[in-house]
Structure 1
């Protein structure tokens, strides 16, 4: 009888240890899942921050390029205007002389 009681007690202790180990395993799994979610969320926030930074840098670079293009266009227009001015005066003189000659004939 005593041997049977010892076996039952040993089985009960083993069952308690098994249940405790299962509970601990569930807790470890739950903790790991929570840590994984937190890490994923923090990485997502960091990724979003990095994307926003890259976009801001790209916008700034685009604005700088647009300003350079606008300045170059203004310079080119001014150069064309300056080179055209003397030709316009010559063209006006030619037109006036043609009109005067035509009206005199």
Structure 2
């Protein structure tokens, strides 16, 4: 019985670790969306491409420079945190800044 529990725990840990590897995450990863308060800036991130969070920040900074009259200068995330999705854990750890943004519904 003890051996079965140990084997089950080992298999579970292997699944969690493997599902967080980039090649696997590419197929099961989500797209994330960001916007400012009035929706005049919108960006959708795509997993495993150059359209990542760093690009969202860069484009938002350029948006603020090109639109100084727009006072909605806070970037919000449009996605909810889902800690039960263990395949997202590495992404949450590696890109923690995007998860610190305020949620906008």
Q: Which has the higher strand share?
A: 2
Larger Rg: 1
Q: Which has the higher helix share?
A: 1
**TM-score when normalising by structure 1:** 0.33
**TM-score when normalising by structure 2:** 0.33
Structure possessing the higher relative contact order (Cα contacts under 8 Å, 6 or more residues apart): 2
